[in-house]
Amino acid sequence: MPHNPKTLTLPNETEILLTALGITDNKVDQLLPLLALLQTETAERSELGEALLNALRLIQSELHAFQILRQDLEAHIGTLTGALKALQIEARESVWMIREIHETLKMPLAP
């Protein structure tokens, strides 16, 4: 009994990039409560606490930049996907017209 496996469809580069950025966002979001704890001004911070606070602030600013980049990329991908679909439809119509012309040219001439 032959088994017909499904075709393997690999994700494209943009899907991989968007997935990676989303995973990074989620991981950094989990660190943000620690940043909120370190921002209390009630007690002095140690050097380690200050270094951690600076690192978390840098991560937060980079996360914000990556979120903006991801949103821009998603919008750009949406625009390109729409344009690509329009081109595919146009290509199918052109192929159909070429086939029609080809079939017409193959018809015998009437005497």
46-57 confidence digits (pLDDT tens): 677 777 778 878
- Evaluate whether residue 4 is within a structural domain: no
- Evaluate whether residue 3 is within a structural domain: no
Q: Tokens in use for 92?
A: 């199918």
Cβ proximity of 25 and 67 under 8 Å? yes
The residue range of the domain holding 86 is 13-106
Kindly report, residue by residue over 77-110, the tens digit of the pLDDT: 888 888 889 999 999 999 999 999 888 888 877 6
- Evaluate whether residue 2 is within a structural domain: no
- Evaluate whether residue 8 is within a structural domain: no
Please state the domain count of the chain: 1
- Evaluate whether residue 68 is within a structural domain: yes
Rounded to two decimals, the pTM is 0.46
